[in-house]
Copies of this chain bind each other. A is one copy, B any other.
Amino acid sequence: MQVVAVTIKDIARLSGVSITTVSRVLNNRPDVSAESRRKVEAVIASTNYIPNNSARELVRTDSTNIGLVVRGVSNPFYIDIIQAIESAVTDAGFTMVLQQIGSDKDEIAHGAIMQREKRLRGLIFLGGRFDYTPEDVTSITVPFVCCSYTNPYGTLLEGNYSSVSIADEDTAYEAVRYLIEKGHQRIAALITATNDRSISQLRYEGYVKALRDHGLESGGVICTESYDIRGAYEAMAAALQDKNSGDFTALFAISDNMAIGAMRALRDGGRRVPEDCSIIAIDGLELSAYIEPPLTTLCQPMEQMGRESVRQLLALMNGEGEHMQHILPTELREGRSVEKI
């Protein structure tokens, strides 16, 4: 990688912010407005700026660092994946450097800075946008793998990037078909948004397709503000207050976490699970097999997903691997949250 003489002054000028602000962004300080941060990150991503001290280190030594950018705070679904990635990275003699960013942050801009500052040899993105363009990813100049997601809304060519994920739309389709086979006709969906070009949109599309293929109308679409339990709880509680949106016998939730929040809201609203409302989800957290009632869910192979991402990254780093979209299978784990009607 070439060290280009872009200075922090240039970055400030190009972003239209002060040098202090650039420095704050580089050091990940919280005291920067979201807008300034976006501007600075965009400029950094579009140049080959390398912070001084890292440039110095880069010249002096080979790094063994592999970066893991985890987007989405505290998602319990990620724990087993992170553990599998760490173990595979360490086994291969590399060092895993982890950074977590909020789900409102841009992982590519963050990865581009991290690549330079931490002298990364490769990068794994865990959770991320589904709509990268080729231009978006030019700022990443080391091999990278998208873990748990792929690029259906973007314009990356299949032969130009690597990903390891499940087939989200198909898995959602399968979940909804399971409810239909149990006799449900009024099926609601609990998602974050219908058009956010994320895992939510993708799973929503699987839901819509399953209903359409079986000649059913939607039983309601409930959108949360976030992927967490509390957000799911609040969205479901609000939906139950609304006379027009409570008329469903089953719910498809896009994650176990959100299903658990929704189950609590259903109970607090006087509805029994599964007697008054069946629930199915996607993820397969260990814990959700132990709650009351045990959750019926389509399990993602977390550990395999982590290991496979590292295997693919190491192959790319060695110049051996072909880019590929590795799609892993899910497995239905039946609990007692779905009842035949």
Contact = CB atoms under 8 A, between A and B. Distances in A.
Interface of A: 27-30, 56-57, 60-62, 65, 73-74, 76, 79-80, 83, 86-87, 90-91, 93, 95-100, 117-118, 228-230, 233, 257, 260-261, 263-264, 267, 286-287, 290-292, 294
A124 to B, nearest CB: 13
A109 to B, nearest CB: 15
A163 B230 CA distance: 32
A269 to B, nearest CB: 13
So how many copies of this chain end up in the complex? 2
A83 B91 contact: no
Contacts of A286: 74, 228-230
Contacts of A60: 60-61
Contact of A263 (B27, B79, B97, B290): B290
7 contacts: A27-B93, A29-B91, A57-B61, A83-B100, A95-B97, A257-B287, A291-B291
A231 to B, nearest CB: 12
Given A290-B233, A292-B291, A118 B95 contact: yes
Contact of A90 (B28, B65, B76, B261): B28
A226 B290 CA distance: 16
A292 to B, nearest CB: 5
A281 to B, nearest CB: 14
A260 B79 contact: no
B292 A28 contact: no
A73 B261 CA distance: 25
Nearest to A67: B95
A287 B90 CA distance: 31
Contacts of A91: 27-30
A91 to B, nearest CB: 6
A98 B96 contact: yes
Nearest to A54: B64
Contacts of A261: 290
Contacts of A257: 287
A156 B131 CA distance: 54
A26 to B, nearest CB: 9
